[in-house]
A and B are shown apart, each in its own frame.
Chain A
């Protein structure tokens, strides 16, 4: 190992320690510094892994799917490096390597599973060719950053083309299937015809009053989410049905589970599917992605919502016996433009109404709901005050919080003080 490299690990560890002391989480800064000192740091380490590198891209479901794959691999006896701190940029991975590697030595892992933001992924693959790439979906998301959705699909194509051993693609996303990729290396995951309408593509999502017909794609799927209800999901593989109760609930998460299972089949072709799907079923939710927190006997679920597709899918599974909180910020990480709230159909909330809206753009959300005919009881831009009210309210025992990214971080840190919540932060 070159001397400069050894030095940079030590430097990275020191920075990591310092940022931790400052208390700002410190997930990306050490990586940022180390990549300046030693630009090939990440590539050198990742290129030595025996099972290679898996990259997960797509607008929605990256964090949960990455966790499905990484945790399942662990359950199947592999040692996995993953960027589970939610810092999905390459310097986040460098930080993770600093944390894992002993000064001057090789990584002890079998495989890396990494979620990447589309734009960062195009830079990442210039340094490291992934062995496998999984593409989940392309949805409108933070257009203020990506410009236009056609660009996003283009970035994902570049990343898919860089895969050495295999790519796994969502058969039900026409923006991905029409990228024109072909060959034996590709396999597909998807959903069954009966539930297809619950998984709108980007263009179906914004179609007005059913002006677009849903066409079921006839592509052969390695793993299909055939059906689901509140308690279990039915997966199909080689014409056999597998009914499973998963630790992570919700239709969109079951679709992510199918994506993860299809990816695991590519990585571990000798492991039988029943073992793979059993492992997937055991995986726990990622932070803020359907996590349940119990405080004073109240069951609080936090659902990250970043864009119309994700919000819509979360609302499709909404059950009206819950107290509803919606928190919308417009920081850079949330997307500065809140127009997207008008691409979500809030009709499912008409019955329960919304108990609280909060966040910097609480009034935008309240106006949105007013024009949908959904009643709102409380509007307070302060997230602290809202959470205080939610916790002191004695009436309802089940609470669902839909929150944009920075709201989710804030809420999670507020709840952490009074609960069993684990993980980073």
Chain B
């Protein structure tokens, strides 16, 4: 069976919003599509292999972000190289912020990011909490957001989606998340992948194309996922 290597970033520090649900969704759907998931975990101090096919990472508390910061910076060039090679990545909340230029904390301290997204994030006193629905090229994507950081897209940075319901990047411009090549940053947890199988399959398909050449994934019965999605999209 053809293998696909999935890397989950910092499971001990950046995994507070059910982020392992994203890993589970990738693992199961890879199996259902007929591939063998090869799940790896990246801990502080580990090296990141250049033959990694999909990278995902989640949100952490402020203390978690501080712990992983050095390690992330050390691997900056590897992440940039993988991003340029169209490797699919999904970064949620805390890691989305650190994949940008900088994160400015409450005390005005600046944490530098790895410059994959052209974004700046500022900690604020107000938390953006609630159900969120965004419009994207994959249709409506649903989730739950919970963040005090407000993110600004700079220059020509593309958003991941446009807010239909909820707050998104910054409560002002209706943008949500960011995208460059196959790298997606977003504030949506819930977790995002199980309830949005279109996005999950996109990440999987891109990984397979990169590794094994052009391919088209077969259809899976997603009636449960779609029902959960549609109910979430209709929530207040």
Interface of chain B: mostly helix, strand, loop or mixed: mixed
Contact of B144 (CB < 8 Å), options: A211, A339, A363:
A339
The reply to whether B17 and A339 form a contact with Cβ atoms under 8 Å apart is yes
Nearest 5 CB-CB pairings of A with B: A342-B21, A339-B18, A342-B18, A363-B228, A208-B11
What residues of chain A lie closer than 8 Å to B15, measured between beta carbons?
Answer: 206, 208
A341 sits at the interface (CB 8 A): yes
B99-142: which residues lie under 8 A (CB-CB) from chain A? 127, 129-131
Contact of B195 (CB < 8 Å), options: A143, A336, A343, A367:
A367
A230 sits at the interface (CB 8 A): no
Known contacts A364-B228, A367-B194; A143 and B41 CB within 8 A of each other: no
Residue in B closest to A376 when the chains form the complex, CB atoms: B224
Please choose the segment from A55-63, A128-136, A147-155, A245-253 that sits at the chain B interface, where 4 or more of its residues have CB less than 8 A away.
Answer: A147-155
The reply to whether B20 and A371 form a contact with Cβ atoms under 8 Å apart is no
B221-236: which residues lie under 8 A (CB-CB) from chain A? 224-225, 227-228, 231-232, 235
A140 sits at the interface (CB 8 A): yes
Q: Can you spell out 6 A-B residue pairs with CB atoms less than 8 angstroms apart?
A: A144-B130, A150-B61, A203-B12, A343-B20, A363-B227, A371-B194
The reply to whether A363 and B231 form a contact with Cβ atoms under 8 Å apart is yes
- Counting chain B residues whose Cβ lies within 8 A of the other chain, the interface size class is 35 or more
Q: Give per-residue flags for B41-55: 1 if the beta carbon is below 8 A from chain A beta carbons, else 0.
A: 101000000000000
B159-203: which residues lie under 8 A (CB-CB) from chain A? 189-191, 194-195
Contact of B232 (CB < 8 Å), options: A140, A144, A206, A364:
A364
Known contacts A342-B18, A367-B225; A147 and B127 CB within 8 A of each other: yes
Q: Give per-residue flags for A326-351: 1 if the beta carbon is below 8 A from chain B beta carbons, else 0.
A: 00001000001111111100000000
What residues of chain A lie closer than 8 Å to B191, measured between beta carbons?
Answer: 339, 342
Min C-beta distance of B16 to chain A, whole Å: 7
The reply to whether B130 and A336 form a contact with Cβ atoms under 8 Å apart is yes
The reply to whether B21 and A208 form a contact with Cβ atoms under 8 Å apart is no
The reply to whether B25 and A371 form a contact with Cβ atoms under 8 Å apart is yes
B63 sits at the interface (CB 8 A): yes
What residues of chain A lie closer than 8 Å to B231, measured between beta carbons?
Answer: 360-361, 363-364, 381
A44 sits at the interface (CB 8 A): no
A19 to B191: give the CA distance in the assembly, Å. Answer: 40
B28 sits at the interface (CB 8 A): yes
Known contacts A148-B61, A371-B24; A337 and B144 CB within 8 A of each other: yes
What residues of chain A lie closer than 8 Å to B20, measured between beta carbons?
Answer: 206, 208, 342-343
Question: Interface residues, chain A, CB within 8 Å of chain B?
Answer: 140, 143-144, 147-150, 203, 206-209, 211-212, 330, 336-343, 360-361, 363-364, 366-368, 370-372, 379, 381
Using A340-B18, A342-B21 as known contacts, list a sample of 11 further A-B pairs with CB atoms less than 8 Å apart, ordered by residue number in A: A148-B61, A150-B61, A212-B12, A339-B17, A342-B20, A342-B191, A343-B18, A360-B231, A363-B227, A368-B21, A379-B224
The reply to whether A143 and B232 form a contact with Cβ atoms under 8 Å apart is no
What residues of chain B lie closer than 8 Å to A363, measured between beta carbons?
Answer: 224, 227-228, 231
What residues of chain B lie closer than 8 Å to A341, measured between beta carbons?
Answer: 18, 21
Residue in B closest to A364 when the chains form the complex, CB atoms: B228
A286 to B124: give the CA distance in the assembly, Å. Answer: 41
Residue in A closest to B235 when the chains form the complex, CB atoms: A330
What residues of chain B lie closer than 8 Å to A211, measured between beta carbons?
Answer: 11-12, 41, 43
B77 sits at the interface (CB 8 A): no
B79 sits at the interface (CB 8 A): no
The reply to whether B16 and A206 form a contact with Cβ atoms under 8 Å apart is yes
Min C-beta distance of B158 to chain A, whole Å: 26
A167 to B224: give the CA distance in the assembly, Å. Answer: 48
Q: Which of A143, A339, A361, A366 has the most CB of B within 10 A?
A: A339
Min C-beta distance of B70 to chain A, whole Å: 19
B210 sits at the interface (CB 8 A): no
The reply to whether A150 and B63 form a contact with Cβ atoms under 8 Å apart is yes
Known contacts A140-B16, A207-B11; A342 and B24 CB within 8 A of each other: yes
Known contacts A148-B62, A339-B191; A143 and B16 CB within 8 A of each other: yes
A150 to B18: give the CA distance in the assembly, Å. Answer: 17
What residues of chain B lie closer than 8 Å to A336, measured between beta carbons?
Answer: 129-131, 144
The reply to whether B17 and A337 form a contact with Cβ atoms under 8 Å apart is yes
Min C-beta distance of B14 to chain A, whole Å: 10
A15 to B95: give the CA distance in the assembly, Å. Answer: 51
B86 sits at the interface (CB 8 A): no
Residue in A closest to B27 when the chains form the complex, CB atoms: A371
